[in-house]
Every structure is written in C-alpha cells, then in structure tokens.
Amino acid sequence: MSVSLARFLPAALAALLFVGCGAGGGTSGTQFPSEDPGVDGEMTQDELAYALDVLDRTNAERAGANLDALAWHAEAAAVAQAHNRDMRNRGFFAHRNPDGQEPDDRLTAAGIGWTAWGENIARAQETPAEVMRSWMNSTDHRDNILSTWFSHVGIGCLLLTNGPYWTQAFLHP
C-alpha cells in the first residue's frame, strides 16, 4: 500500500465506517455479568472464547470469498476491548469517542503501526453467530470483513447482562 493511500485511508474509512450496528433481537438465555469486572483491554475467558469464535466466523466468510484468513492481533484485540469498555462506561455507541478519538488514533496510541485500518462495532447481539449475521447483512461492515486491505484483526467482546458490546479492529501493519 502506498504512502498516499495510507494518508487517504483514515479519512475515507472514517466516512465509510461511521455507521453503528443496530441491536439484535431475541435472547439466548445466556447469563452475563451485570457489572464489568475487567479493566482496559482485558477479556474474561468467556469473552475471549466469543472473540475467537467471531475470528473463526470472520475467516470462514473470507474463505468463502477466496480471501486469505486474517491473523489474530492481540494488541488490536486489547484496543477493541478497551473501546467496548469506554463505550459502556461513558454511555456512547460510536467509532469516535466523546474526546474525538477515532479508531486509528486508538491503534496509534497503543503503539500499533498500520498502513490500513477499519473498525466494526455492534451492541446487544448475544452470540458470535448473531453479531456476524448483523455485520454481514450491512454493506459497510461486510466490506470490512471481506476487505483485501487488511491482514490482521483484533476482536473485543464485553459480556454484560443487557447484552454484549463487540468491536473488530482491522489493520494492515
């Protein structure tokens, strides 16, 4: 990817990706904690299992489109999870936080180098299958999942009684 594209990409993706996913319907009966016991980018065992399930489903969608699998990026997963907590703690649902920080700012602040980035967020879909169905039914989110610009992804899942927060942080170093 050229330097000029790397400079163009944040603005283009911000315009393209500043779309939130709607809440999913129904309940699975799964009991999630009402309080968030974690801090920053940490995930519980259950949250990590859900995040890795989303990774598998993401790569299955990519395989179906004859695309390479995305590699897990642990640092980007921590950034994604920290964004989930920030949205929950400060009561917003957006790619841009109330301080004006965008997804690329969060990656850079975490010391993650990138030449391309993207982000999907979702709220209240209770299972990996539900959140993937929601994202794949949205053109902008599906475009991120199936983009050839990205080689890595970090996924955060914050499980709460009133439904999870989900963030996929896509990048190409």
State the pTM of this model: 0.80
pLDDT higher than 70, residue 151: yes
Packing angle between helix 45-64 and helix 128-136, nearest 10 degrees?
40
Q: Do strands 165-172 and 116-123 pair parallel, antiparallel, or not at all (unpaired)?
A: antiparallel
Taking the C-alpha atoms of residue 59 and residue 146, their distance in angstroms, rounded to an integer, is 9
Question: In this structure, is the dihedral angle defined by the CA atoms of residues 147, 105, 95 and 161, taken in order, positive or negative?
Answer: positive
Q: Model confidence over 79-101: pLDDT tens digits?
A: 999 999 999 999 999 999 999 99
In CATH, what number does 3-22+31-172 get?
Answer: 3.40.33.10
pLDDT higher than 60, residue 56: yes
Place of tokens 């640092």: 75
**Domain residue spans of the chain:** 3-22+31-172
Taking the C-alpha atoms of residue 31 and residue 162, their distance in angstroms, rounded to an integer, is 9
Structure-model confidence comparison of residues 23 and 160, the more confident one = 160
